[in-house]
């Protein structure tokens, strides 16, 4: 009889990738995925430490799961609770002390050992322990990727592929160097092999992931290293891969070869997420970003020179300790000059253990709120302008999921915009068999004319089919 695992994923795309790989490590041990925690023999909360109060949300969820675990135990059924990810890494020992219902705490570099941890927890429980104690938050010398089973079942035509982990930048506000460890790049051959498996499984679009993805320098078989630009070119050679994206980048690591890949590789999507965080040199220095606003502008100019239609997105933190009105105005000025297609903006909140958390000169909360409102109003204005420029144009859209309306599928444009496509009248264009429901075309790459542009998404009409993935994901 198979066992069931429920995984709840918080935070970044890398956590989504990690959650999928955790499931893969469990499948050979008889586990299948369930959509509800109540049915699960094992519940995994894959946590993120970036957002404010992230740990408190996890503890709240543990509280709900504790009751489910007790109810199961009363009927003689076992249930295990595992906490994974960056909160686990940062607060593992404290979590074990504070939440007795938790059976396992494992850091991001150790999830390939999950079956061993489960076996240990089960052994302890068999010895009479009501709540076992398995804590593994080490940064092992060997790489977890060497121990993971090969993934071959892909539910979507778009997939994430982790190529790099960790960060050596030590920005003053960030916990990643402490929760994910030093920068590590996977060997080129391993990545290409995984990308080929994805293509064979029907994947059309691959997003290359890393905490600092453009710092990638992976080993080649001849012992030399290659950067992200080289890797993009190699992935683009794989039959079936039509789209390549990468995230998240650091301005210090935009090497010339990577910039030229945007010009030379048609499969490299014309969209780049390049976080700047602030437009003030004073704040950039305080954040330990190790670049200036002018260096950022120079990089943007270079990118747009080789790829004029490149869309940019970014991250911003307002109210970093010591930020003055002048510093904030410098951020608004940078935004006006760059004009982002999308952006993410947040109020600064201290992360325990980071250098910025010890700075005494904190910005008042009401000031942070007012600045965030002004920044987001400007960013939203630019996003609406960018979306409206697509009206009347045709673009390629990869259909990924069902929309709320009958006959509607939602996909992504090359610029990562959400596009709602009405397919109720399109079956004859999609296939000779007009009786096939529109959901059979999930995962197809289609040509769409944009007829409506909202602040957060577009609406389009089908023009034709570029690549049909009949039945993908069903």
Task: Detail the residues annotated as belonging to a binding site for [4Fe-4S] cluster.
Answer: 12, 48, 86, 167, 171, 174
Peptide bond into 82 cis (omega under 30): no
Burial class (CB in 10 A: 0-12, 13-18, 19+), 378: middle
Contacts of 53 (CB under 8 A, 6+ apart): none
State the Cα–Cα distance between residues 79 and 73, nearest whole angstrom.
8
Phi/psi-derived region of residue 101, left when phi > 0, alpha when psi is between -120 and 50, beta in every other case? alpha
Please tell me the distance from the alpha carbon of residue 275 to that of residue 261, in angstroms, as a whole number.
Answer: 19
- Residue 47's H or E segment, with its range, is strand 42-47
- Which has the closest alpha carbon to 461: 434, 431, 429, 433? 429
Q: Please report, for residues 101, 205, 208, 228, the alpha-carbon distance to residue 244 in angstroms, rounded to integers and kept in the order given.
A: 42, 6, 7, 12
Mapped onto helix, strand or coil, the DSSP state of residue 9 is strand
Contacts of 54 (CB under 8 A, 6+ apart): 10, 11, 47, 48, 87
Q: Confirm if 47 and 54 have CB atoms less than 8 A apart.
A: yes
Residue 67 CB coordination number (10 Å):
10
Q: List, in order, residues 6 or more apart from 107 with CB less than 8 Å away.
A: 84, 85, 88, 89, 92, 136, 137, 138, 139, 179
Question: Residue 60: which region, alpha, beta or left (left: phi > 0; alpha: psi -120 to 50)?
Answer: alpha
Tokens at 382, concatenated = 């630019």
Q: Which residue has the tokens 């009405």?
A: 422
Which residues make Cβ contacts (< 8 Å) with residue 48, sequence separation at least 6? 10, 11, 12, 15, 54, 85, 86, 87
Provide the annotated binding site.
12, 48, 86, 167, 171, 174
């Amino acid at each position: 009889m198979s066992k069931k695992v429920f995984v709840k994923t918080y935070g970044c795309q890398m956590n989504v990738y990690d959650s999928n790989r955790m499931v893969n490590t469990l499948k050979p041990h008889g586990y299948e995925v369930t959509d509800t925690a109540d049915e699960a023999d094992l519940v995994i909360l894959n946590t993120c430490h970036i957002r404010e109060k992230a740990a408190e949300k996890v503890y709240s969820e543990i509280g709900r799961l504790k009751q489910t675990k007790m109810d199961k135990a009363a009927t003689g059924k076992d249930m295990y609770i595992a906490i994974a990810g960056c909160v686990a890494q940062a607060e593992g020992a404290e979590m074990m002390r504070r939440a007795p219902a938790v059976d396992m705490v494992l850091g991001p570099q150790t999830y390939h050992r999950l079956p061993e941890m489960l076996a240990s927890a089960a052994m302890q429980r068999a010895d009479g322990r009501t709540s076992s104690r398995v804590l593994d938050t080490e940064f092992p010398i060997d790489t977890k990727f060497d121990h993971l089973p090969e993934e071959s079942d892909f539910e979507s035509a778009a997939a994430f592929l982790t190529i790099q982990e960790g960060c050596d930048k030590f920005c003053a506000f960030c916990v990643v160097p402490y929760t994910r460890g030093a920068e590590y790049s996977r060997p080129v051959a391993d990545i290409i092999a995984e990308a080929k498996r994805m293509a064979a499984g029907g994947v059309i679009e691959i997003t290359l992931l890393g905490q600092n993805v453009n710092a990638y320098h992976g080993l080649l078989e001849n012992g030399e290293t290659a950067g992200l630009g080289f890797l993009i070119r190699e992935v683009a050679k794989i039959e079936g891969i039509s789209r390549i994206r990468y995230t998240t980048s650091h301005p210090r690591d935009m090497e010339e070869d990577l910039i030229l890949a945007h010009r030379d590789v048609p499969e490299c999507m014309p969209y780049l997420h390049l976080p700047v965080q602030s437009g003030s040199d004073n704040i950039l220095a305080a954040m330990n970003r190790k670049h200036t606003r002018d260096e950022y502008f120079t990089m943007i100019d270079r990118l747009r020179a080789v790829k004029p239609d490149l869309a940019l997105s970014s991250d911003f933190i307002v109210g970093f300790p010591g930020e003055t009105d002048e510093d904030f105005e410098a951020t608004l000025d940078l935004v006006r000059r760059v004009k982002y297609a999308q952006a993410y903006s947040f109020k600064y909140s201290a992360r325990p253990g980071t250098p910025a958390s010890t700075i005494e000169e904190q910005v008042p909360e009401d000031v942070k709120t007012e600045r965030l409102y002004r920044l987001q109003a400007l960013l939203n204005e630019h996003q609406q302008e960018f979306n409206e420029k697509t009206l009347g144009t045709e673009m390629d859209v990869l259909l990924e999921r069902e929309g709320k309306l009958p006959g509607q599928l939602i996909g992504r444009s090359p610029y990562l915009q959400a596009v709602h496509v009405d397919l109720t009248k399109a079956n004859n264009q999609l296939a000779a068999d007009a009786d096939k429901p529109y959901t059979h075309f999930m995962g197809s790459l289609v040509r769409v004319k944009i007829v409506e542009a909202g602040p957060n998404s577009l609406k389009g009409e089908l023009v034709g089919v570029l690549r049909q993935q009949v039945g993908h994901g069903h």
